[in-house]
Amino acid sequence: MTKRVMLLGERGADLEGLTHGVGVALAELMQAGWSVPAGMVVTTDGCRAYCTRLGQLSDEIMEELVRAIRHLEQQTGTSFGGPNHPLLFDVRSDEAGYSSVSEEYAISYVGLNDDTVEDLARQTGNRFCALQCYLALLQQYGHMVHGIPYKMAFAKTADSENYFTREAELESWIEEKKGWIQAISGSPFPQDVISQLQAAVRAVYSAEQINHGDDPTEGKTKAGVTKKATNGAAVLIQAMVQDDYANHKGAGKVYTRNPATGEQGMIGDYLPARSKSGMVHALSYLKRNSLKRYTELEMICTELERRAGAVLELSYVVKPGSVCIQHVQPAKLSSLATIRNAVHFVQEGLVSKEEALLRMRSEDVTACMQQELPELKVLLEWANEIKELSILAKVEHITEAWQARVWDAEGVGLCTTETMLLSPSRKPFVQKMILADTEAERRRGLERLLPMQQSDMECLFEVMDGRPVNIQLFNFLLQGLFLDVNMLEQDSNDSALILSQIHEMQLEAIFRAAVKSIRKGLWVRPEIMIPHVEHVQEIQKMRALVDHVADQVLGEERRHCIYKVGAAVTSQNSARKAAQIARYADFISFDADTLTQSIYGNTREETTGREQVDEETFQRECSSPHTFDIEGVGRLVEMTATQGRIRKPHLKTSITVEHILDAASISFIHDIKLVAVCCRPEQIPWARVAAAQAVIRASRNHQSMKNEDISTIA
């Protein structure tokens, strides 16, 4: 029978599947004879089986858990829920690679109740401290188990500057937190310590399933679970050291590496037990006064870090004959340290490239973009080796094309030409051209604009030498050119005629630029995108126009300019007609942000009239442009791309995701087999990492399913 609860230091325990966890590192150190906290690990299988039973432990797991608790009681000389020397537990994620999960999603002092808090007070001789511990348990329990928002659960008093100055204040706060828990859950805070532990394990395991980049200060659902899930990890349960420090020489906190800079070598502080001033010293104080204990602490840090594959934070106590580790958890790292350490750990053989990439969050990569950080460049090279999606740039100005090239964009996925034509220096020419009284004047206006647009295209081709450049033709409501819409008197037919003339001018500029660039020795790969295609006749007509202008302008250079013509899908209507559009298109590009707005950006009256959209859906999908509605917009994109590829198997499908570049969205885009993602230049580094993460996760999920199938057959 597979063990689901394993004691740290247990001889012969099967640690397979727990590699690079804090628990397995502690277990190996304990087996090697080091002084580490007693504890146990509830494996991922155990947690999963637990949570699938709606929070009820099976008899088998319960039996294992109680047996482990009794063993820890004997080992520590304490009693879980009993008098005199209460055994208290710290419950947190065993995942070593993600400090954000372990730090914020943990519950300490499990085992305290109205009786044991007084036992703790007598044991330590410090009731004030015992009440603080009880309050901390209630705050963490309320937040993790019942979803009390973080800021509310841990808020300080608004009317008192002397926070926690008297025991009476602590007692008042304790009763208030109990009241909140009862009001939200419908039942009082459990005085039964086994029930506390069950709830804590379930809450921590559920919290592990969030995306590691989520903000821990935001409120969660009642079960403490957010919407986005991963596979979760094991749960580490450690006995908390409660002692009077009578025989201690000192104590402190240490990091195995600098959590701010990522510099190698332990860093921390030390407080001598008999210090009259109470001043905390740097670790150098311990080194000067007890080199042997300092060296021992250094060895412990090195060994723990090697086994866990992560930067760790340790609380320690120096005894006359040894260093005792009280508590271990992953350290909270700056973005700089996160990136540096991920790369260094790979180079030191502690973790794989894949694991290092999975530890990255968008804020870490973005925060280090403006720095000349060699480790970030190495990380991006690893991402390029793994990812399958092409990462393209959306540009509105030539300077952005240069920025995109610096970040190794694989081409321009969307160049919005209207932003170039409507720049302050060119907008007057466009207005004058449109308001021309005669056709001849309008032609002269277009002739003035043509060299401007040609210059833009030449710069793009030069910057992206050999890489595709997607150029979206003019896509702007003519009324938007004027402060007074009455200035424009043409009817809709005139507007369409003007837009067609602008498109013809742009095509001539593109192909003239192509000829000039080719003759300079550059490789040119223009991709001409027709905006807002709603009917198959539109793409058919525009395709004919593109081919006609190309024949007229390219001449003998036609064989060197392999251009493509495609359609922008920005509405449900165009999405439904993807198969027909694909007949005349070489590629289809989805604008995820515009699609989202077109589907959910209507009025409340229009939206609430549909039965399938409830209030929660409206609030979620209409109010946040930074959320990619995978089950709505995403499935529409998937269906459209599939239909297009059925009509044309080699149809190129890409998506522009300017405001929704989160890891879950990129994983979905990878899974539905789009070939490219287009984003802002400053988002390219993160997009490269997220695309690699998508491949790694898909591979691991596939392997996990394969193993489950083999297990089922066996």
Domain assignment present for residue 179? The answer is yes
Domain assignment present for residue 255? The answer is no
If asked whether residues 624 and 589 sit together in one domain, one would say yes
pLDDT tier at 14, thresholds 50, 70, 90: low
Q: Helix or strand or coil: residue 83?
A: coil
pLDDT of residue 60: 77
Kindly tell me if the per-residue pLDDT of 101 is higher than 90: no
Quote the longest CA-to-CA distance of the chain. 100
In angstroms, what CA-CA distances link 251 with 133, 376, 433, 557? 19, 36, 78, 77
pLDDT of residue 218: 38
pLDDT of residue 479: 45
Residue 257 and residue 312: Cα distance in Å, rounded?
Answer: 8
If asked whether residues 530 and 672 sit together in one domain, one would say yes
| Mean pLDDT of all residues in 139-166 | 72
pLDDT of residue 32: 77
pLDDT tens readout for residues 166-197:
888 999 999 999 999 999 989 999 999 999 99
Last residue of a domain, one of 242, 276, 305: 242
pLDDT of residue 56: 61
Other Cβ atoms closer than 10 A to 384 = 15
Domain assignment present for residue 80? The answer is yes
Kindly tell me if the per-residue pLDDT of 627 is higher than 90: no
If asked whether residues 691 and 674 sit together in one domain, one would say no
Domain assignment present for residue 666? The answer is yes
Q: Helix or strand or coil: residue 546?
A: helix
Nearest residue to 643 (alpha-carbon basis) of 595, 583, 578, 592: 578
Last residue of a domain, one of 242, 262, 281: 242
Helix (H) and strand (E) counts for the chain?
29, 18
If asked whether residues 443 and 369 sit together in one domain, one would say no
pLDDT of residue 634: 92
pLDDT of residue 613: 43
Q: Helix or strand or coil: residue 200?
A: helix
Domain assignment present for residue 333? The answer is no
Beta bridge partners of 199: none
Domain assignment present for residue 458? The answer is yes
pLDDT of residue 54: 56
For the chain, state the CA radius of gyration: 32
If asked whether residues 70 and 194 sit together in one domain, one would say yes
* CB 475, CB 416: distance < 8 Å: yes
For residues 620 and 226, which has the higher predicted lDDT (pLDDT)? Answer: 620
pLDDT tier at 605, thresholds 50, 70, 90: very low
Kindly tell me if the per-residue pLDDT of 456 is higher than 80: yes
pLDDT tens readout for residues 63-99:
889 999 999 999 889 999 988 889 999 998 887 665 5
Q: How many domains does the chain have?
A: 3
Residue corresponding to tokens 């702007």 = 476
Kindly tell me if the per-residue pLDDT of 321 is higher than 70: yes
pLDDT tens readout for residues 265-302:
999 999 987 776 668 899 999 999 999 999 999 999 99
Average pLDDT in the chain: 83
pLDDT above 90 covers what percent of the chain?
52
pLDDT tens readout for residues 242-255:
654 456 788 899 99
Kindly tell me if the per-residue pLDDT of 346 is higher than 80: yes
If asked whether residues 363 and 448 sit together in one domain, one would say no
pLDDT of residue 607: 38
If asked whether residues 620 and 502 sit together in one domain, one would say yes
pLDDT of residue 209: 57
Domain assignment present for residue 453? The answer is yes
pLDDT tier at 495, thresholds 50, 70, 90: confident
Question: Any idea what the CATH number is for the domain that residue 618 is in?
Answer: 3.20.20.60
Tokens of 423: 């720049």
pLDDT of residue 419: 85
Kindly tell me if the per-residue pLDDT of 713 is higher than 70: no
Question: Any idea what the CATH number is for the domain that residue 135 is in?
Answer: 3.30.1490.20
CA angle in degrees (0–180, nearest 5) for 475-480-485: 140
Kindly tell me if the per-residue pLDDT of 229 is higher than 90: no
Per DSSP bridges, beta strands 676-679 and 390-395 are parallel
Last residue of a domain, one of 188, 207, 242: 242
Comparing 31-35, 40-44, 432-436, 538-542, the range with the smallest average pLDDT is 31-35
| Mean pLDDT of all residues in 567-574 | 91
* CB 283, CB 323: distance < 8 Å: no
If asked whether residues 374 and 411 sit together in one domain, one would say no
Beta bridge partners of 257: 264
Cα dihedral angle (71, 73, 75, 78), rounded to 10 degrees?
Answer: 180
Kindly tell me if the per-residue pLDDT of 631 is higher than 50: yes
pLDDT tier at 589, thresholds 50, 70, 90: very high
If asked whether residues 572 and 691 sit together in one domain, one would say no
Q: Which amino acid is at 530?
A: I
If asked whether residues 574 and 462 sit together in one domain, one would say yes
| Mean pLDDT of all residues in 429-436 | 87
Other Cβ atoms closer than 10 A to 210 = 22
Q: Counting Cβ atoms within 10 Å, is residue 26 exposed (0-12), middle (13-18) or buried (19+)?
A: buried
pLDDT of residue 620: 44
If asked whether residues 638 and 684 sit together in one domain, one would say no
Domain assignment present for residue 621? The answer is yes
If asked whether residues 594 and 685 sit together in one domain, one would say no
For residues 613 and 531, which has the higher predicted lDDT (pLDDT)? Answer: 531
Structural domain for 73, as ranges: 5-242
pLDDT of residue 622: 41
For residues 321 and 227, which has the higher predicted lDDT (pLDDT)? Answer: 321
pLDDT of residue 4: 84
pLDDT tier at 34, thresholds 50, 70, 90: confident
pLDDT tens readout for residues 675-705:
999 999 999 999 999 999 999 999 988 887 7
